[in-house]
Chains A and B, each alone.
Chain A
Amino acid sequence: MSKPSVLIPIVVFAALVALLGFGFRLSDPRLLPSENLGEPIPAFQLPNLLTGRLMTEADLTGEPFLLNVWATWCPSCVAEHDALTAIHTQYGVKIIGVNYNDDVDAARRWLEQLGDPYAFHVVDAEGTLAVDLGVYGAPETFVVNAEGTILYRHVGVVTEGVYQDTLATYLAQDSMGGS
């Protein structure tokens, strides 16, 4: 190798590290605050994924819950699914799904394959609710209190770590405020 070329590996490596490091900034939820924080859930009228019954924002109130935007075309949602299942079974958290821009049959098959920890899902085939929520892409998860007010928005995959560190605090904060 001629002399300056021995530096190529380290330069390429530095670029790679920069890219990987940048990857974290992208998936850092705190960089993407929602305009809807503190606002009530936008009004909607959408069918239930499994029963077909029309649901509205009124069906969501009553107890605090996680509103999870997912789709079968989103590989991250597959990864997230296990964590949501664990959060539901271990902590008894109510999770409501928004099936976003998706093929309804594929979505049903997906739930049958992977299990369904959700209380129910609404079908947002046109993305209207997602637009009102200001969703960037799937998956996103909102913490909503019993009155239907959005407390927190998480962009990207929910893990048990994310749940324990942030989502759980917002859910707990709500139950204190509610009682």
Chain B
Amino acid sequence: MIVELGHFCLVIACVLAGLQMVLPSVGLFRGNLLLINTGRSLASGVFLFTVLSFCALTYAFLTNDFSVAYVARNSNTLLPWQYQFSAVWGAHEGSFLLWTLVMSTWTLLVANFSKPLSDEFRARVLIVMAGLSVGFYLFLLLTSNPFERTLPFYPSEGADLNPLLQDFGLIVHPPLLYMGYVGLAVPFAFAIASLWSNQLDVSWARWSRPWTNAAWAFLTLGITLGSWWAYYELGWGGWWFWDAVENASFMPWLIATALIHSLAATEKRGVFKSWTVLLAVFGFSFSLLGAFLVRSGILTSVHAFAVDAERGQAILWFITIVIGGSLTLYSLRAWNLKSVVGFDKSGRENFILANNLLLTISAAVILVGTLYPLAYEALNDGAKISVGPPYFNAVFVPLMLPLLVLMAFSQRSQWAATDLRVLVYGQGRLLAGSTVLGVGVALLLGALDLWICGIATLAFWLTLNLGMELRRRVKGRQAPWRRLLKQPLAVWSMVIGHFGIAVVALGIVSAVMMSEETDLRMAPGDTATVGDLEVKFLGTEAVQGPNYLSDQGRLEVYRAGQLLAVLQPEKRRYLASQSIMTEADILVRFAGDIYVALGEPLSEGAWAVRIHIKPLVRLIWIGGVLIGLSGFLSLLDRRYRVRSVLREKKISERQGSETAYV
């Protein structure tokens, strides 16, 4: 009964979203303010019924209702309760229900936290979002109904959740990622609303900035968490695979990163107006493309959902209508659009332009690599090839290096025109200092490698420039330290975000260049030497988990005769699906993770054991978290907490006269 109610709630949510699209449109047409404002209250209704529907599916999971086909496929009575809960979004249907829930959440937020918008503009934004929602609900109801029953003959036991997904990472990763993906619908809706009303002034850029920052921050955290999950759960010790699904989340991130910079330029200086609109459309397009790639089955990946061509076709139609429509609208309106403000060659605008070019080109080359197998198949009679990390590394790294140089150099630039003396001041000394630091780090890691020295130098150069920028802001004033704390949060957000990039860069280069990986045959009692560590294998014992049997290994790690840790990697056999999973065990040290995984059992109690040492690999995720947090920090900045239109106006006037910041 509850399951049917859940299904019914979903239908109601769909109908309400339809009304939310139609009523305000009629209102706009007739100039009826009452109808125009219905969008706001309907947003609450759509949200409420989607939540109810989501709760109903959760209930079906927690009560082991295997008459629901989706539950039977993805759960099991032995599954621990927290995974029964997260199994709700463990496969296609339920995860798309989560997607619609996230969409209705964003719509609700936009409806209620958009006071500075005129009623009419807000209505347009909400109409666009409601239109997208209707598409999502129809897709869910018509092709992927999670509430479908298999009555009267239903299984007495479920097939279990994919063991890879029985992990804390899966509980948190998809919701964060979807907040990011779907959140990009907000700047998209703002962009479309401004095209639609032909109000391509700078105000839409100001209004959509906090939303874009929020979505981008969620996306950043989601990707970071996904990478961490892949590292400790997949058992290969890798943290990024250039897999089609990872690319599907990375491309929107690159575009969104370009977008947050370009929005700043548009808001502050009125430049790149039409480009910014286009980026907002692209960002969400890449989100939809990602959903399509993951769910259509035309590309395969370790992470892809069980796939169905019919669903893929439905999404492709949706993409064609939404993106095709948006780009047509864009072509019509952008025809007459011009940037009014000129800027000097030394202005920050130029750096942002270069940043945007590099980021969009990166997204484009990743898109080419991701879709190339498909194009190849189309042109060569179905012959299949796969494009792997060699391609992506070869094209992506050369694009990121100039970006890093540019990033370091441009931190102290200013809008319109930068005093070249300020920009270049002390760069020679900074660069010399960071080279010393970079080489120092390389020596500490124990390898005078050109890549490590180079990247570490760039990372330090960026960091020192950020420090210099902060110093410039407080220099010569009274009580500089107090003043430093009083800097707007937007400044801190910028500093922390870019510092995060420096941290990630250092983590990546040392993890890639310095990792030591050994695969050994180890019998109980054997000792292996890896780097300056000694690893002793004590054998395995059988352990019973809630829904799996496991061979748990015991390895002691010594350094200079001292016991550092006992690691217990596992090889698990999940009972319901009979699948085998490798659970690595990791000793986390700042100097380098010691990563141990069991390979295959060999004769007489011996095992193939995989031991990796990964120096500084943690920096990748620490940096990712810093970048994500910087996005949230920017939301707390004073100007976004100011509600009334009037005060908003005053502030923007004041900011215009002050030194502006991103």
Contact = CB atoms under 8 A, between A and B. Distances in A.
A1 B277 CA distance: 12
B170 interface: no
Contact of B374 (A1, A20, A112): A20
Interface in B303-321: 304, 306-310, 312-313, 316, 319-320
B155 interface: yes
A89 B227 CA distance: 32
Given A20-B374, A24-B298, A82-B162, A160 B306 contact: yes
A128 interface: no
A54 B377 CA distance: 36
B316 A17 contact: yes
Interface in A2-24: 3, 6-7, 9-10, 13-14, 16-17, 19-24
Given A6-B274, A6-B335, A13-B324, A115 B316 contact: no
Interface in A31-65: none
Contacts of B159: 86, 89-90
Interface residues of A, number: 43
Given A114-B580, A115-B577, A159 B297 contact: yes
B402 interface: no
Contacts of A117: 578
A14 to B, nearest CB: 7
Interface residues of B, number: 53
A179 interface: no
B308 A115 contact: no
Nearest to A136: B382
B331 interface: yes
A133 interface: no
Contact of B300 (A1, A3, A7, A75): A75
Contacts of B393: none
Nearest to B304: A79
A86 B582 CA distance: 21
Contacts, number: 122
Interface in A76-122: 76, 78-79, 82-83, 85-86, 89-90, 109, 112-117
B371 A19 contact: yes
B645 interface: no
B157 to A, nearest CB: 10
B369 to A, nearest CB: 14
A79 to B, nearest CB: 4
B301 interface: yes
Contacts of B310: 161
B384 interface: yes
Contacts of A69: none
A24 B309 contact: yes
B328 interface: yes
A116 to B, nearest CB: 8
Given A26-B298, A160-B73, 16 more contacts: A1-B337, A9-B330, A10-B330, A10-B331, A13-B285, A13-B327, A17-B320, A79-B300, A79-B306, A85-B577, A112-B580, A112-B600, A114-B580, A115-B580, A137-B384, A160-B306
Which 5 A-B residue pairs are closest in the complex by CB-CB distance? A23-B298, A115-B579, A10-B327, A76-B300, A161-B308
Interface of B: 73, 155, 159, 162, 274-275, 278, 281-282, 285, 292, 296-298, 300-302, 304, 306-310, 312-313, 316, 319-320, 323-324, 327-328, 330-331, 334-335, 337, 371, 374-375, 377-378, 382-384, 386, 576-580, 582, 600
